[in-house]
Structure 1
């Protein structure tokens, strides 16, 4: 059976109960649960669903939004709506300085890291400037693919002064846990967030199409004495993260 036949209102709407958008939402869920629409499969456009069902675009949009909010489908800018592959949707606060491991544990998600690079290296010009390194100093680099419930979420590329992290191999799960033991956990950070389209290497690591929406985050973290302790450049899946900041009215 095709999705068009499955959405034919004569086969389900007459005996369904509840608001029309709830009826449609349940029908779409049934199409996914039955395997008619599989993970990452595209859904018909809202306009097409409205035509197939005889429902208004407002009703269709509300049903689709319910499915998006529950993580059952994902919407990709310029591409349409797709069945979720189970990748968690994370709402990340911009007001707290926490590690990826801590963030996922707080949400009840299991986190894992696939190491891409780990060791001591000669710093690049960007690292020398960002970490305020002197001539001849080395830098500890930690690059890893971060997953939540076995779904790729982000690529983290962290750089630290070698005297702060002389043995990068000590980091198994949480970098901040290792730094905390030595009294070097950062207390504040400045972040810059940019919207990007993922290039081939990063897209393949994150299991998304080339050109998919992503977020680039550059973070410079500081100790209490204002020394730079960490310079991180991360790439996040755009369909897996919402970054949230609390704003307050400025009093003049």
Structure 2
């Protein structure tokens, strides 16, 4: 570590602003394996003393790497090299739960519960689930992890007559719904880009403002009843979503 952060590393006057030189130095050390995932960086004060840079310059260089997800800052603990995250390809043609998807890949699944309970529905839940304003809604909020790496924040809302006891959900929500005879058979899903706010970024172990994917799913029973309204945030560095496209039958094609 001491060989990496020396004043001599910043003597190239043509290397651009000093904070960018520091940023490139740390990024290069991460890419080469000199700084390994989970490694702790010296404090801002220590880095400034080791490199001869100002604390403002050090702070800006480190902040850029936190913003791109290469470094992670934990309050009260310091700055660390972010863990390497395997990119996962998720097919959009299959209606599966996070647990089922990870288990199919041979990965372990963990949940960190943030909240579970019955509540008065918010206006968007009334609309999405077809509820009355005096109904109750079951809400589940948790961080979903695989092999110890947090990948998604899942916020699910379900009518109380579908899930009367949200505390009964321990692992897979869909496994619980199947045991109740309430598993959805189809869903409409919308995906959009999002920049993670500080709270969600901290839950996912990444820097505030990094790219994520917002996924909204409304799921239906065979009867057509809405059974689930879920809003999830996925790490943008961990997921690729794929869908198979087919040419429309001849009778459905429109001439250009």
**TM-score > 0.5, shorter chain as reference:** yes
What is the rounded CA distance, in whole Å, between the counterparts of 2:207 and 2:128 in structure 1?
Answer: 32
- Confirm whether residue 240 of structure 1 aligns to residue 219 of structure 2: no
Alignment of 1:86 with 2:84, yes or no, is: yes
Offset of residue 79 of structure 1: 4.5
For the structure 1 residues 196 and 29, does the alpha-carbon distance in structure 2 shift closer, same or farther, using more than 3 Å as the test?
closer
Q: Give the deviation of 1:38 after TM superposition.
A: 2.0
Alignment-derived partner of residue 250 in structure 1: 248
CA distance change for structure 1 residues 79 and 157 in 2, over 3 Å: closer, same or farther? closer
1:67-216 aligned within 5 A: 79=68, 85-216=83-214
Determine if contact 1:99/1:176 at 8 Å carries over to the other structure.
Answer: yes
Q: CA RMSD in A?
A: 2.7
- Residue deviations 1:28-81 (CA, integer Å, cap 9, x gap): 99941xxx132278xxxxxxxxxxxxxxxxxxxxxxxxxxxxxxxxxx9x9597
Change in 2 beyond 3 A, CA 1:223/1:80? closer
User: How far apart are the structure 1 equivalents of 2:210 and 2:31?
Assistant: 28
Counterparts of 1:181 and 1:113, CA distance in 2:
20
Q: What 5-or-longer segments of structure 1 have no aligned partner? A: 4-27, 42-75
Q: Distance in 2 between matches of 1:213 and 1:150?
A: 21
What SS does the corresponding residue of 1:134 show, helix, strand or coil?
coil
Would the aligned equivalents of 1:118 and 1:169 in 2 still touch at CA under 8 Å? Answer: yes
Number of aligned residue pairs: give it.
Answer: 194
Return the alpha-carbon distance in structure 2 between the equivalents of residues 134 and 233 of structure 1.
Answer: 20
On the 8 A contact 2:69/2:206 being kept in 1, the answer is no
Contact 2:68 2:207 in 1 (8 A): no
Query: Normalized against structure 1, the TM-score is what?
Result: 0.70
Is the Cα contact below 8 Å between 2:69 and 2:82 reproduced in 1? no
Unaligned runs of 5+ in 2: 6-28, 40-64, 72-80
Distance change in 2, residues 1:115/1:84 (3 Å): closer
Q: Structure 2 length as normaliser, TM-score? A: 0.69
Instruction: Describe the SS at the equivalent of 2:83.
Output: coil
Equivalent residue runs for 1:27-38 within 5 Å: 31-32=32-33, 36-38=34-36
CA distance in 1, matches of 2:179, 2:38: 42
User: Does the 8 A contact of 1:122 with 1:138 survive in 2?
Assistant: yes
